[in-house]
Amino acid sequence: MPDVEPNAGDATLRTMEKRRAKLIGQYCLYGLLLAPALMALCARARADGGLMLLHQMDGPFVVTVFAAPNPPRVGPIDISVLAQYRADGRAALNAEVIVRLRREGGMTVVGRATREASRTKLLYSALMNLPEAGQWELEVTIEQRESAARALGQMSVAAPRPFLLSYWRSLSLPWVVVTLFAVNQWLKRRAASRARQNT
Amino acid sequence: MNPIAETIFRSWKPGYETLAVLLLTCALYLRGWGRLRRVRPREFGVARLASFLSGIAAILLAIDSPLDAFAGLLLTAHMVQHLLLLMIAPPLILHGAPYLPILRGLPTSVLKHGAGPFLASPGLQWFGRKLTYPPVCWLAFIIVSLTWHAPKFYELALRSPFWHGVEHICFLGAALLFWWPVVQPCPSRARWPRWAMIPYLFLADFQNTALAAFLIFYDRVVYPSYAAAPRLLNLSPLEDQVAAGAVMWVPGSVAYLIPMGLLTLQALSSRRAVSSSNLRAELPVIQPQNASTPFPAGHPEGWDLLSVPIIGAALRRPRFRRAVQWAMIALALIVIADGLFGHQMGSMNLAGTLPWTHWRGLVVISLLAAGNFFCMACPFTLARDLGRRWLPARWHWPKRLRSKWLAAALLAIYLWAYEAFSLWDSPWWTAWIVIGYFVAPFVIDGLFRGASFCKYVCPIGQFNFVQSLVSPLEVKISNADICRACATYDCIRGNDTQRGCELGLFQPKKSGNLDCTFCLDCVHACPHQNVGVIGVTPGSQLTHDRYRSALGRLSQRMDVAALVLLLVFGAFVNAAGMIGPVAALERLLQQRLGLESLLPVTSALFVLALLVAPLLLVVACGVICRALCGGAISWKELTCSFAIALAPLGFSMWLAHLAYHFITGASVVIPVAQRAANDLGISLLGQPNWPNTPALPLLDWLPSLQILLLDGGLLSTLYVCWRVARRLSARAAGALSLLAPWAGLAALLYAAGVWIVFQPMEMRGLTRETPGAQACPMSSRTPEMRH
C-alpha cells in the first residue's frame, strides 16, 4: 500500500462526497435516458382516429367510426368510435361499445371498444386483427342504460404493406450510420492531410 | 370539473420516440449546462436552463398533449399546436443557448471523434453560415408556413400520421432558423445589425396576419376534413375556422410584437448594447475544430457498480451471492419437481416456461444491461462446492482439454438436441438436463482442481462469457499504479480468508469478460480494494489484440474463434428453428425422402446450417481477406481476429429472439405457477384461469425493437471489424479491403436475422387469444399503427 499522508482522510472523504454527488447526478441522467426505453416497452398500440368510415344517427346517438391506419390494411387495425348524444352533441362517456367485422365468407372478428384503449379519451377504441384483404362489413353497437344504437357500414381492407416500407426507418438506420461514419473518416483524413501540408 | 373537459385533459398520448429524443436532448443539455455553469456561472445561469426546458415543454405540449389528440377534429386545437411549434418553443430553446451545453454534454470521445470532424469541416461551417443568414432564415420560415397551410398539404398531414410528423419537423426546423438571428444564441455572432430584426419580424408578422385574415374572412371551410369531422364543442366548421384564424392572428402577432418591442428598447439603450457586446467579447467563440480542446478531460476513472449505495454494499458481501444462489437452487428444484411430476405440456409446466422463456430472456437482457450476472448467481456452484468437499479434487484438468473445443462441442450438441427433441416442449427432459447440470460440476470439480467445469465444460458459462464481451460492465482494476506496487497478488493467489480467481485471471492483465464468472472472489481478495465492477464501452475489448490473462492473444486462439462463430451462427439457427418456413421445409424434405421421423431431416439441416455453412463462409472470407492483403498476415490470425468481431451481431440475434419470447410470454408464469401449486394441494395462489389470462396487447412495436437490436449488432460488428482491419493494415485502403469480406458476411447474417423476424413464429407458451386481441404473425404488424 502506498504511504498515507496526514489529513489524507479528509481529502478522501471530500472526494467520496464529490463522487457520490456526481453519481447521483449520473443516476438522474440515466433515469432520464432509461425512461423512454421503459415507456417503449410499456407502450400499447392505441387507436387515434384516422380515416372516417361512418357517420350515422341511430336512436339517441350520433355515431362516428374511424379506422387507422389509413387505408386499413391486413393486420392490426384500430377502430375508434365517437358516440355523441343527438340532442346536444355531447360525447357519451359511459357506453358499452362492441365492434363487429364480418367477411363475406362468414369470418367474424369481434372486439370491445374502450376509452382506455384510445388516445383521444372521448373515443372508444378496439384493436382488431384482420387476417384478409377485401371488403368487410362493419357493425358498431352502442348501449347505455336503456338507450341503444347500431351503425352499419363497409370497410375496405387493403393488402399488408411490404415490410420494407413498414419498417423503413429501422431498416435504414445501419445505412445512415455507416454513411455518417464514412463521411466522418473522410473528413478526419482530409483534416489530417491539410494539417500535414500546413506544417 | 365537467366530465367532458376532464376527459379531454386526460387525452395525453406519450409518443415514446419523440419523448426519447426530447429526454436525451434534455439530459445532454443538463449535463453540459452543469459543467459550463461551474466555469461560467454568469453566462449559463438558471434562466438559460429554465428557458431551454420551457421550450422543450412547449414541444411536448404541442405533440403529446390533448392538442394533438384533437387536432384532427378541431382546427383551433391544431392551430394552437402550430403556434407552440412556431412561436413559443423555438425562441425559448434558442434563448437557452443550447449549442455549447449540448456539445459539452456529449461524452468526450463522441465529441472529439464523432462530432469533431463534422464541426471542423469547412464545408459544413460554410453551410451553417449560409443557413443562418437572415434572408435565408426568413424565406425558409415563410415558405414552410405558407406551404403547409395550403389545403392540399394540410389535408395530407391530416390524413397521414407520417406527413403530420414531417409537417411538425418542418415547422420546428424552420422556426428555429427564423428565430436564430432574432435571439442570436450564444456563442453565435450577429450577421446583421440588431435593429434590422425589427423589419425582419414585422414582415413575418405581415404574412401571419394575412394568413389569419384569410381563415377568418373566407366564407367557406378551407380544409374539407374539418367540414366532415364530428362537432365536439358545438362549434360549426366555419366557426372553428374563424376561432383558429383568431388564434393565429392575436397570440401569433403578440409573439412577434414582444421581441420587436424588446429589440426597439435594446436599440434605444446604448448602455445595454455595450454591455451585450462586452459579454459577447468575454465569451470565447468556440471554433468547432477546437470544440473538444477547451473542455477539461472527462471522467478518467470508470464508473464502479460497487460504489453504488445498497447494490454495491450487497455485492461486496459474499453472503449476498450465496443467498442469490440458494434462491436459484430453490427455483431449480421447483423446475425439476414440476418437470418430472407435473403436467407434461410445456406451456403448462414450470419446466417448460421458467427456463426456456423467463430465465433465457432475463439472462440476455442482464447481459445487455449489465454483465454476466447469471454465473454470479449460478445454482450449480453448490454442487461444485459439495464435490470438492466429498471427492478428492486433486487432479489437474488434462492439458489436451485446456481449450474451448470441448465446450464448443457440448454447446453444439446442446443446440442440436434443443432442435431435434424440442426440449422447450418437454418438461421431463428439461428436468433431467437440470439434474445433469447438478451432477456434472459435482463430478468434474470434485475430481479436478480449479474451476475446470466453468472454464472448459459448461455450455451455459461459455454462452455467457462470449455474450458478456459486449456487456457494459467488467470486473477490472480501478488503478493500475496500485497493482504495480502490489507484491502479494491476492486477486489470483488468494489469502487466508478469500480464495483468488479460480479461472486463473490475473486482474492487471485481464481484459474483457471472457472466462470471468463475476464471482467477485478477486474483489473480496484484493487488500487494496482496487478491483471493481467497472463500466466500459461495450465491445471495446474486442478491438485490441493485447495479451489477456489466461487466454493469451485472441488472434491466436482458434478454439475461441470457433466458439464465438458457433454462438453467432447458433443464434440465427436457433431462431430459424422456430419459424414457419423452416418447419414447412422440414416437412417437405421428410415427405420427399419418405422418412417416418423428422429427426434425420432436422439433424441434417442443423449440421448444414451450424457447421458446414459457417465453415465454408468463414474459410472463404479468410482466404479472400488473405489474398487482398497480399499474404502478409496468416489466415489463422485474420480469421480469429475477425471471427470474434462477429460476436455483437450474434448477441443481437439472441437478444431479439429470446427477449421476444420473454416479453410476449412473461405473464404465462402466473397460471402455470397456480397450476403447479394446485397440483401440490396449495390453493393459496388461486385457481389457474387459462382462458382469462390477462391478454397482452398486440405488440406492434416489437418487430421494430427487434430490428433495432439487429441494427445495433450489425453496426457494432462493422465498427469492431473496421478497428480490427485498421489494426492489421496501416493504410485505410488496405483496411477497407480486409474489411470487405467480413462486412459482407455480417450483412448476410443481418439480412437473415431480419427475414427471420418477419416470419410467423411459434407463439409457444402464450394463452392470450381473446376476441379483438388475437396474436398475429409478426409479418402482419405495421409500425404505422402506433401513430
pLDDT for residue A59 is more than 70:
yes
**3-state secondary structure at position A167:** coil
| Cβ-based neighbour number of residue B457 at 10 Å | 20
Burial class (CB in 10 A: 0-12, 13-18, 19+), B590: middle
Name A85's bridge partners. Answer: A61
Are B151 and B223 contacting, i.e. CB atoms less than 8 angstroms apart? yes
Count the Cβ atoms, other than its own, within 10 Å of residue B91. Answer: 23
pLDDT at A163: 78
Of A43, A55, A88, the CB nearest to B230: A55
pLDDT at B110: 85
Q: Do A39 and B14 touch (CB under 8 A)?
A: yes
Asked whether the beta carbons of residue A166 and residue B784 sit closer than 8 angstroms, the reply is yes
User: Positive or negative, the Cα torsion across B565, B571, B572, B574?
Assistant: positive
- Distance CA(A176)–CA(A168), nearest Å, equals 12
pLDDT in the model for residue A11: 61
Report pLDDT for A46. Answer: 39
More confident residue, A150 or B303: A150
- Residue B557: pLDDT over 50: yes
Residue B132 or B745, more confident: B745
State whether B307 and A39 contact (CB < 8 Å). no
Residues 748-767, chain B, touching A (beta carbon < 8 A): 750, 754, 758
Identify the top-confidence range among A69-83, B279-293, B430-444, B478-492: B430-444
Share of chain A above pLDDT 90, in %: 18
Show Cβ contacts of residue B498 under 8 Å, excluding neighbours closer than 6 positions.
Answer: B490, B521, B524, B525
Count CB atoms within 10 A of the CB of residue B436: 9
Mean pLDDT of B497-512: 91
Query: What was the pLDDT predicted at A123?
Result: 86
- Calculate mean pLDDT across residues B654-673: 90
Whether the predicted model's global pTM rises above the 0.90 cut: no
Decide if A43 and B34 are in contact by the 8 Å CB cutoff: no
Residue B690 confidence (pLDDT) above 80 = no
CA distances from B3 to A90, A115, B114, B715, B737 (A): 10, 13, 52, 50, 68
A17 pLDDT more than 70 = no
Whether A45 has a pLDDT exceeding 50, the answer reads no
Contact status of B18 with chain A (Cβ, < 8 Å)? no
Percentage of chain B exceeding pLDDT 90:
56
Q: Is pLDDT at A178 greater than 90 in this prediction?
A: yes
Q: Using one digit for the tens of pLDDT, what is the confidence trace for B725-771? A: 999 988 888 899 999 999 999 999 999 999 999 888 764 334 333 33
Interface confidence, given as ipTM, is: 0.79
pLDDT at B434 over 90: yes
Residue B179 clears pLDDT 90, i.e. is over it: yes
Rounded to 5°, the CA angle B701-B706-B711 comes to: 120
Residue of B nearest to A98 (CA): B772
In B, which residues are within 8 Å of A26 by CB distance? Answer: 303
Contact A76 B69 (CB under 8 A): no
pLDDT of B681 above 80: yes
> Which residues share a beta bridge with B76?
none
Between B118, B307, B773, which is nearest A184 by CB? B118
> What would the grid cell of residue A149 be?
344504437
Asked if the Cβ–Cβ distance from B117 to A99 is below 8 Å, we say no
Check residues B736 and A37 and name the one with the higher pLDDT: B736
Cell numbers for B125: 461551417
Report the DSSP pairing between strands A124-130 and A147-157. unpaired
Output the pLDDT for position B457.
Answer: 95
Element (H, E) at B459: helix B459-467
Average pLDDT for B261-275: 70
CA distance B87 to B259: 11
> B24–A33: do the CB atoms touch at under 8 Å?
yes
CA distance B708 to chain A (A): 6
State mean pLDDT over B657-678. 90
Residue of A167, A186, A189, A193 to mutate for B, most B C-beta atoms under 10 A: A167
> Strands, DSSP E only, in B282-371?
none
- pLDDT, residue B768, reads 38
- Closest approach of B698 to chain A, Cα-based (Å): 7
pLDDT at A196 over 90: no
What angle do the packed helices B46-64 and B161-183 form, to 10 degrees? Answer: 160
Q: Give the C-alpha separation, B140 to B421, whole Å.
A: 64
Contact between residue B656 and residue B753 where contact means Cβ atoms under 8 Å apart? yes
Please, are residues B533 and B474 in contact by the beta-carbon 8 Å criterion?
yes
pLDDT (tens digit, 9 = 90+) per residue, A100-155? Answer: 999 877 788 898 998 888 877 888 988 888 888 889 999 999 998 888 889 999 88
* B233 has a pLDDT exceeding 50: yes
Give the pLDDT confidence of B772-783 residue by residue, as tens digits.
333 333 333 333
Give me chain B's average pLDDT, please.
86
